[in-house]
Structure 1
Amino acid sequence: MAALGLAGLGPGEAAAAAQALTLPAESYGNDPRLELAWAERAHQHAQVHFNLLQSVEPRGLSLTPLDERIYREFRKNFPELRVDVLDPEELKSEAAKEKWRPFCLSFQELLPDFNFGTLLRLDSSGEYSEENSILAPRIQFFAIEIARNREGCNDGVFRKSG
């Protein structure tokens, strides 16, 4: 089943996995089936996102109904953060987490799954890969990808797709 991912699940198992994904992470221990389901969902999200970047000019792409607010708050809180090529320390260090936490929590009631683990590309000119991806909360992904779209960092992905 591990090689097939979610495709290896029957209808009842898939429904149970989908229901399980709606519960908070603290509800679970280290269940490998659940970890696989979370990884599959994050991978699917990454595929959809990259396909969008290749298909639609990024400067006109809207990722959420809250794009304007997310971008405004992001740049207010992180005016100097480079989004073209990310330094993982600016996202994952203890000091960075302290700075990101209030920003992320401000969207808790506004954005479904704001804290869901999502793959984020480190270098905006590259594809999703093991070397070019980290796991980030969904609101952090949205903030950075919205900034990349508006600031032209994702234009190269669109132009390469041709």
Structure 2
Amino acid sequence: MALPKAEDLDQIEEIEQQWAVKAMHHAETYYSLLEKYDCTKMRLTKIDDELYEDFRKTFPHINVELLDEEDFKSPSAKEAWREFINRYENRVRDYNFGSLLRKDYREGYTESNTMFAMRTQFYCVEVARNKLGLNRVIYKGDASS
């Protein structure tokens, strides 16, 4: 495999910047919705219930209140998530897009409370948090931003 040329690196950096802007916009929009609406009445996808059930069955050990990055980033977790995410390739819009995910549901999107995730992972965690009513802390205005 050939090494990228200098001009290719500029394009890669530009793509990464565009991704970061898009991911941050998605995060800000979602957080704004959580501030304005009761999370237990929100639907993030057309298949929220199915995603939730499959997520809880496949990853019962994941604590959605306080995420452990190892549950997403370790080699075994990456493989399990890759298989899970690919099941939704034609069913979840932007299923493999990058997203920002809050580690602690009680806090906003800060540098220390944010991790990179795939869109399907974001949906799984946030659908679970919404179903459990955890994100109500934001709606009530009790979370820091």
Which TM-score bucket, shorter chain as reference? 0.7 to 0.9
- Partners of 1:46 and 1:139 in 2: CA distance: 14
Q: Does 1:108 align with 2:89?
A: yes
Percent identical: 37
**CA deviation digits over 1:76-115, x for unaligned, max 9?**
1112310011000111111111221211110011112101
Higher relative contact order (CA 8 A, sep 6+): 2
Match of 2:79 in 1: 98
Q: Does 1:79 align with 2:60?
A: yes
Q: Does 1:55 align with 2:50?
A: no
Match of 2:3 in 1: none
Q: List, as ranges, runs of 4+ consecutive aligned residues in structure 1 with deviation greater than 3 Å.
A: none
Gaps of 5+ in 2: 1-7
Counterpart AA for 2:62: L
- Partners of 1:82 and 1:35 in 2: CA distance: 30
Counterpart AA for 1:70: L
User: What is the SS of the residue equivalent to 1:134?
Assistant: strand
**CA deviation digits over 1:25-65, x for unaligned, max 9?**
xxx86622111111100000000000011111111111111
TM-score scaled by structure 2? 0.87
User: What is the SS of the residue equivalent to 2:141?
Assistant: helix
Aligned partner (choices 12, 15, 32) of residue 34 of structure 1? 15
Match of 1:155 in 2: 136
- Partners of 2:142 and 2:46 in 1: CA distance: 26
Match of 1:46 in 2: 27
Following TM superposition, by how much is the alpha carbon of 1:161 offset from its aligned partner in structure 2, in angstroms?
Answer: 6.1
C-alpha contact 1:83 1:153 (8 A) present in aligned 2: no
- Partners of 1:139 and 1:33 in 2: CA distance: 24
CA RMSD of the aligned region, Å? 1.6
Deviates more, 1:148-157 or 1:118-127: 148-157
TM-score scaled by structure 1? 0.79
C-alpha contact 1:87 1:122 (8 A) present in aligned 2: yes
- Partners of 2:55 and 2:132 in 1: CA distance: 13
Aligned partner (choices 134, 141, 156) of residue 115 of structure 2? 134
How many residue pairs match? The answer is 135
